[in-house]
Amino acid sequence: MMSEVIKEKSGFSDALKRAYATFRRIPFSTRAVGGLYFVVLIIGILWGASPADLFTRSLHFFGVWAIYALSNVPSIQSGTGPNFALPVGIVTGLMAMVLMMAAGLTGWTLLLVSALLALVFGSIFGFLYGKLMNAVKGSEMAIAPYTGFAITALFGLVWVAIPITHPRMIFFLGDGLRHQIPLDYFDANLLFARLLEFELFGVTFRTGELLVVFLACILMWLFFRTKTGIAISAVGRNPMYAKASGINVDRSRVIANTMSTAIASFGVVIYAQGFGFVQLYDFPMFFAFPAVACILVGGASGQRSKVINVLVGTFLFQGLLAIALPVFTRVLAGADVVNPIRMVIQNGVILYALSRMSKGVA
């Protein structure tokens, strides 16, 4: 009897040890941002916010950001580094949506057709972007963000000059497309989000949106189990090794960047329906760094990433930003510092994640 008790006790402490060892294996940045998430959550609850509402918000942000974060996986695996040129994908996605709206499509047709078109446009631009990355081997990290900035500026001109006359899309006065085109006008607001939506313990689950995210993640996971996917990973780990095994290194990198850009392009459709607007002009510029931070917070490094990094990192980082706003609004009622605080958190986490990128965020 006694010995059994002792045995049970030691079994328990063993389990604790094992749990601790598992915990230690979680990258430090994931633990740190996760810890911050729970601190903010608890502060919110203490100040009277409903935890269910906060979770709902977290899931909402997760749903619209996950695809952007996922677009980093192929480019990181191929050795090109994180997809800092996310705006390239975003402008092509926006172009797909804008063209289909101008063509008079609405509702599900609009979203599905523009999603397909976004993949096509994204692939074309991604292919060219991949060629560019091969031409600047060694300085991808410097060129990629500027490619994003440059293409955002270029498309700023396109949005002004494009000969679209749809009254719901252009400025009231003068030429050019509006900064924000509400999807309400096109009956396409929240379509994925509302599909099979349900509530559990007060938390709203945007089932359709989450299903799309998970499906994309599963496809990505499967892709990196195919011959092409494994070849891309090998190229990223050691290009000479891949070359000696008969892999075309440049071609693998182009495939990976084409995928990254096409996925980002597709992500625009999910993001737009989730927030209810198609946002043009300098909007694409602000997505690259937060999306990269998502995957890094999830435990990826500049050289290696997995789908699980996307899921964990996006939930924690975007979830943190999602709840920071309502929580600090309550805590600092009246003071107009909520948005600056949110920006400090966002950029602080990005800075930290980037600083650890080369070693792997651990």
Partner 1 sequence: MSRTLLEFKNISKVYSGNQVLKDVSFDIREGEIHALLGENGAGKSTLMNILFGMPVIHSTGGFTGELTLAGEKVDILSPFDAMALGIGMVHQEFMLIPGFTITENIKLNREIEKENVLNSITSRLFGKRMKTLDRKQMNKDARKALDKLDMDIEEFTLVQGLPIGYMQFVEIAREIDKEGMKVLVLDEPTAVLTESEAEHLLKAMRTIAQSGIAVVFISHRLNEITAVADRVTILRDGELVVAKEVKDTNALEIAEYMVGRKVSIDRTSDEARQLSDEVVLSVKDLHVAMPNENVKGVSFEVKKGEVFGIGGLAGQGKLGIANGIMGLYESKGEVVLSGKSMQLGKTKAMLNAGVAFVSEDRKGVGLLIEESIEDNIMFTAMSIHDKFLSSARLSDKRAIREHARNMIKDLDIRCTSEKQHTGRLSGGNQQKVCVARALTQEPTILFVSEPTRGIDIGAKKLILDLLLELSQKQGMTIIMTSSELAELCSICDRVAIICEGEMAGILPPDAPPTHFGLMMSGIKDVEGELTA
Q: Which residues here bind partner 1, judged by CB under 8 A?
A: 222, 225-227, 230-231, 234, 237-238, 240-241, 243-248, 304
Tell me the residue type at 108.
Answer: W
Q: Which is nearer to partner 1, 130 or 236 (CB)?
A: 236
Least Å distance, CB 70 to partner 1, is 19
Q: Which is nearer to partner 1, 108 or 241 (CB)?
A: 241
Q: Which is nearer to partner 1, 39 or 218 (CB)?
A: 218
Tell me the residue type at 303.
Answer: Q
Token reading at 53: 């509402």
Least Å distance, CB 359 to partner 1, is 12
Q: How far apart (Å, rounded) are the C-alpha atoms in residues 300 and 72?
A: 10
330 Cβ contact partners less than 8 Å away, ≥ 6 residues apart: 44, 47, 48, 49
Q: How far apart (Å, rounded) are the C-alpha atoms in residues 104 and 98?
A: 10
Q: Which is nearer to partner 1, 149 or 223 (CB)?
A: 223
Give the H or E element holding residue 82.
none
Least Å distance, CB 356 to partner 1, is 17
Least Å distance, CB 241 to partner 1, is 6
Least Å distance, CB 255 to partner 1, is 14
Least Å distance, CB 206 to partner 1, is 30
Query: Nearest-CA neighbor of 294 among 315, 308, 324?
Result: 315
Least Å distance, CB 245 to partner 1, is 4
Q: Which is nearer to partner 1, 109 or 303 (CB)?
A: 303
Please identify which residue in the block is written with the tokens 């990094």. Answer: 309
Q: How many CA atoms lie within 13 A of 149 on its CB side?
A: 6
Q: Which is nearer to partner 1, 179 or 237 (CB)?
A: 237
Q: Rounded to 5 degrees, what angle do the CA atoms 242, 245, 248 make?
A: 60
What's the N-to-C CA distance of the chain in angstroms? 45
Q: Which is nearer to partner 1, 78 or 114 (CB)?
A: 78
Least Å distance, CB 230 to partner 1, is 6
125 Cβ contact partners less than 8 Å away, ≥ 6 residues apart: 88, 89, 91, 92, 261, 265
Residue 7's CB is within 10 A of a number of other CB atoms, namely 10
Q: Which is nearer to partner 1, 78 or 147 (CB)?
A: 78
CA 10 to chain CA centroid, nearest Å: 43
